[in-house]
Amino acid sequence: MLTIDALNRFGADTKDGMRRCLNNEAMYLRLVVKALENDNYDRLSSAVAAGDKKAAFEAVHAIKGMMGNLGLTPLYELSSEMTELLRAGKDADYADYLAGILRQRETLLALCDD
C-alpha cells in the first residue's frame, strides 16, 4: 500500500511533497500515483529507442518536474541527470538512464499495488 512511510523508505522527501499539496496526504498520494501512471515514461522509452534526443529531453524534463514537485528524490535525481545531458546534447548511453528511471518507477508502482 502506498503510504507516507513507504515513500520515506523509498527515499522520498515527503515533507516537501506534502507541503506543495497543502499537507493534504490524500491529495499527495493521489498525485504520486498519477505521476507514476503518466504517459511521459512511454514517450521517453520510444524516444530513447529511436535516438530522438529532442523528444527524450521533453519527456524526461516533464518527469523531472513531476518528481521534483512531489519530492520523489530517487526518480528526480535520475531524471535530472538525464535531462541535463540531453539539454547539453551529450552523447551518452541513455538506455541506462531510462532503465534506472523505469526501475525506480516500478519500485513505486509495486507500493501502489500492495
CATH number at residue 109: 1.20.120
pLDDT digits (tens, 9 = 90+) for 20-33: 999 999 999 999 99
pLDDT digits (tens, 9 = 90+) for 30-56: 999 999 999 999 999 999 999 999 999
Q: Using 50, 70 and 90 to split pLDDT, how confident is the model at 113?
A: confident
Q: Using 50, 70 and 90 to split pLDDT, how confident is the model at 114?
A: low
Question: What is 31-74 written as a DSSP string?
Answer: HHHHHHT-THHHHHHHHHHHT-HHHHHHHHHHHHHHHHHHT-HH
Cα-Cα end-to-end distance for the chain: 4
Cβ distance 67 to 79 under 8 Å?
yes
The structure's pTM equals: 0.94
**How many domains does the structure of the chain reveal?**
1
Distance CA 64, CA 15 (A): 18
Residue span of the structural domain in which 91 resides: 4-113
pLDDT value at residue 103: 97
